[in-house]
Chain A
């Protein structure tokens, strides 16, 4: 028997506490959401902790979901919030604010950017960025948060969010270009 789980039916089932619907929701989004948690937290154990806590929040707050956005977008926000809370509890964010102030500006030039980045390489390079740069870049560029939302969540002025984004983007692009050049030179 093959059953299609439409989003609305699954949500209604989860609200009623139906385990089948909860498992369906989990199966549908767990891979994507764990990837998000891991992207923010790097460490897989921390990511799994945040992932479980976020899923518990999803199940308990699904009744508040208003269908004004897609379920995936709504869940993504919850998982990112949980990951940021985890980061904050580890004080990794606060530590990196000082690094932010000491980082120099890198000029922007994105003309050679590829149509599609190698996501694994990008993730590896992002780890070389200061933590708050990385978080701001991921929140803004990948997950679609506005500067106002980033400023609220990371407890920083909007201007800091903007400048962090600019620097992070430039640094990442510079690192990416260097990595590609090195890779090509190794091939030659």
Chain B
């Protein structure tokens, strides 16, 4: 006998080798498959949250920098106009007089001073600080320079008159008077210097004023100290493009995807324990779905940190809740009562005429489909109490808890009753339920018109959704994620 023949005989001896696996092996494998099936959602959600959070934080810090620039330039505008308006405070008048006394000496260096003005305007932070405290010696120096440079040809007495005249015009109630005064003496050099300065700050809101109005009169409105212009207190409340961030009333809108979480409520199962699978692996019966959600809420701020929110929240579960399962565990009944379960595998051996044989396995399987083809619309009126905290100058974090009233509506749902082997279709079913919610939002000031950000929330419905006339019930909750926009409302104000 050849070695090859020996090998063939050896091989045929092992053809039917079989070691029955321990049940635990499939349980372990099943658990692993469950985990790997769930991975994708969390794998993308976590990185997305991190990226979005980082983006918001970065955006917030970016806007914060822009605000600093804005403040600096506006400060310089106040500084410059202060000379013209000669604010009514004694200090300002004193400064003006001092300025006038220095005028002849500085007048000879007019062109150099004009350049100095532009540079000092671009030098953001120091300008702001100096403007806020006119009594500081350094501040005086900065205040003087622009006044000198503005009209180097003026005599020592002229600026004082012009200042007083402008002061009267600007403090006066009638803006119509302003264009009638001679502007060339003051505005031409000032405007030029500002345009030079503003070229360095493309996001400066005041640029719009200058372009709109065409001259520096626009800055008359900014007649309060620049230091009061924090990001939360807009610079110009009269401007339509800016919002009052100190408002008590806010509109909050948002939308995004959601994960619909479901679990089976066995207690409501009128055919309790009809299938072994049902009560042993009930988590396999109910599948989580995806969906869409949106909200429009009105917030009322009690104080700096706390607010109340209510409105309308809409959720659409766009994926059916699938509860079709099959099992190899065949229920063995005695007088309708399940007494045992069997796993039946049929092994069929077919012998061919040439001596070959083929083995085929047949698995006996039991199906049960509890509910299919479900789609729900959920309308909720939430009542939330939220706490808001400032993370940085422009970025805020808020967290809230609350309850609500929800209406769950289903246009059509089909259920296969495996006990009676009938299909039941329910149309236009609705159910009211209480709901509990929790949410976290991260948002940042956006271009002085509102706040944008991201939010995540969890909404749980207290009443299980009853299926097939109460045969089964599904406990439902939604994990929500989305983008939001908050806008202050001017309710309660004239």
- Give A contacts to B, CB under 8 Å: 1-5, 17, 19-20, 22-24, 26-28, 30-32, 34-36, 38-39, 47-48, 51-52, 55-56, 59-60, 108, 110-111, 113-119, 122, 140-142, 144, 166, 169, 173
Contact = CB atoms under 8 A, between A and B. Distances in A.
A110 B29 contact: no
A30 B365 contact: no
Interface stretch (B2-10, B66-74, B87-95, B147-155): B2-10
B431 interface: no
Interface string B327-354: 0100000000000000001100000000
A116 B25 contact: no
B419 interface: no
Interface stretch (B12-20, B299-307, B382-390, B397-405): B12-20
Interface of B: 1-3, 5-7, 9-14, 17-22, 25-26, 28-30, 32-33, 36-37, 284, 325-326, 328, 345-346, 360-367
A56 B21 CA distance: 15
Contacts, number: 114
B9 to A, nearest CB: 6
Nearest to B360: A4
Nearest to A60: B36
A38 B363 contact: no
Nearest to B343: A27
A122 B10 contact: yes
A6 to B, nearest CB: 9
A140 B4 CA distance: 10
A36 B11 CA distance: 12
A119 B210 CA distance: 97
A31 B11 contact: no
Contact of A19 (B2, B284, B346): B284
Which of A3, A111, A116, A118 is the most central at the interface, judged by chain B CB atoms within 10 Å of its CB?
Answer: A3
Nearest to A10: B363
17 contacts: A1-B364, A2-B365, A22-B33, A24-B363, A27-B328, A27-B363, A28-B361, A30-B21, A35-B18, A39-B14, A55-B29, A108-B3, A114-B9, A116-B9, A117-B9, A140-B7, A166-B3
Nearest to A28: B361
Nearest to A144: B11
Contacts of A117: 9-10, 13
A2 B19 contact: no
Given A24-B363, A110-B3, A51 B10 contact: no
A115 B9 contact: yes
Contacts of B364: 1-3
Given A2-B364, A19-B30, 12 more contacts: A1-B365, A19-B33, A30-B26, A34-B20, A39-B14, A48-B21, A51-B21, A110-B5, A111-B1, A117-B9, A141-B6, A141-B11
B18 A2 contact: no
Contacts of A34: 19-21, 25
A48 B1 contact: no
Contact of B362 (A2, A51, A113): A2
A38 B17 CA distance: 10
A83 B30 CA distance: 21
A165 B10 CA distance: 13
B412 to A, nearest CB: 26
